[in-house]
Amino acid sequence: MPGKTRTGIIGAGVAGLSAAWDLARAGHEVVIYEAQPTLGGLAAGFRDAHWDWALEKFYHHWFETDSDVLGLIEEIGQSDKVLFPRPKTSYWIDGKIYRSEISLSALLLPLSPLAKLRLALAGVYIKFTSNWQALEKHTAHDWLRRYMGEEAYRKLWAPLLIGKFGEAYQSVNMAWFWARVYKRSLRLGTYKGGFQAFLDALGAAVEQQGVAIHLNTPVEKIEQQDEHLVLSVNGRRELFDKVISTVSPHLTLRLAPQLAHTEYGQTMSELKSIGAVCVVVALKHSLLTDGTYWLNLPATSADKQQSEFPFLALVEHTNWMERSHYGDDHLIYCGDYIPADHEYFQLSEDELAERFIAQLSRFNPEFSRDWVRKYWVWRAPYAQPVPGVNHSEKILPLKTPLSGLYWASMSQVYPWDRGTNYAVEIGRRAAKLIIEDA
């Protein structure tokens, strides 16, 4: 049809599904290819046999300011399924737990009065300024030391930056830190049944618009042929007018070797990112008995073997969501971010789980190994972009120099951090470009 395209989408995560939603409603033919057996990408969940709800492989939540994903949920008629309880988030400092919300609880932090005042003043500035362009000219390391002071930086922020970015912690720009604070809300959101239930509802809505979704179907190659793009899939060659890749920069370059030889492809290859691991543990008893949902753990060294803890965050999911949804299990995440070549990607699941579980008695002296009913290990080599100073100069347009090929990934949502809200935004932005081009 005039003005309509046949569009292939690589990846059935939130970005791919969101793009498909808009394209299909505009009358375009859309086919999605997903290598995994389920929808969702990094937001996907899993379910144990006796659970009513699915649980995310990597901990997820929404903020009340996440208008893109909340708006899409309203469009598909599922807003009544969104929940926004207020959990307790905390820091672990010198062996004790302190509340970490941006509220009067900050007065109880183990800081001097002057450090608390500087923390409050700089925190208010970060929360209310929208000038992230000025902030990206500085590293978080330098800005926080200068404006919040050495004491607050040393006790609060340096341990978190080291834990998250390892040896690169001094190079991450301040706009990344700003984005983490600027959009944050005290209430955190999820979907009845878990994020997988939301993904399945979005997938069903997309299919009702005529989109074909193929799971367990990895794309093997993207090639330009005359005015079309050819996707190699399961030994077949599928012809498309447009293609959206929602996967990592390195995988996109591997699939599209013609793109790798362009200046655009060279910039893609230089983008930095780190991976993530989560050990999810089902316990018979609560670990964080003070009710903390999210406990930020300090890192004293980029070397996990030398640091105080071998992971960055301890999240007791069932201090936020009712454990009755999970067969009365007490569910915790032991989560960390590491480079893709880190040993955590080489250890067996049992080795990694045992290394993390061995730390749990530090948070509750009554913990014993027989509390553990079951555990799961999840790993993703591409989970978090690493933005340096003036990173906006490296953000590539969604339209690539390979005619008809668009790239929409978490590496391009900057200055925002990765997350499903920004996956919705970038997926819909890619769809808008295709609709306009057509």
Tokens of 10: 């690589």
Q: Of 249, 258, 275, 283, which Cα lies nearest the Cα of 357?
A: 283
* Tokens matching residue 400: 């690539």
User: Could you tell me the pTM of the whole model?
Assistant: 0.95
State which of 125, 156, 182 marks the end of a domain.
182
Task: List the CATH number of the domain containing 15.
Answer: 3.50.50.60
CA pair distance 99, 89, nearest whole angstrom: 6
Q: Same structural domain for residues 129 and 199? A: no
Return the pLDDT at 241. Answer: 97
Point out the domain boundary residue: 127, 147, 182. Answer: 182
- Provide the pLDDT for residue 377: 98
pLDDT at 1: 56
Bond prior to 218 in cis (omega within 30° of 0):
no
115 and 173 share one domain? yes
Same domain, 235 and 170: no
Phi, psi values for residue 36, rounded to 5°: -85, 165
Count: domains in the chain:
2
- State whether 253 and 401 are in the same domain: yes
* Domain carrying residue 211: 6-54+193-271+391-437
Q: What pLDDT does residue 301 have?
A: 87
Domain contains 37 = yes
**Residue 105 pLDDT:** 66
**Parts of the chain with a pLDDT under 50:** none
Q: What is the predicted pLDDT for the residue at 293? A: 97
Phi, psi of 262 (to 5 degrees): -100, 165
Same domain, 23 and 159: no
3-state helix, strand, coil in the chain (%, to 5): 40, 25, 35
Say which CATH number the domain at 150 has.
1.10.405
Residues 12 and 49 in one domain: yes
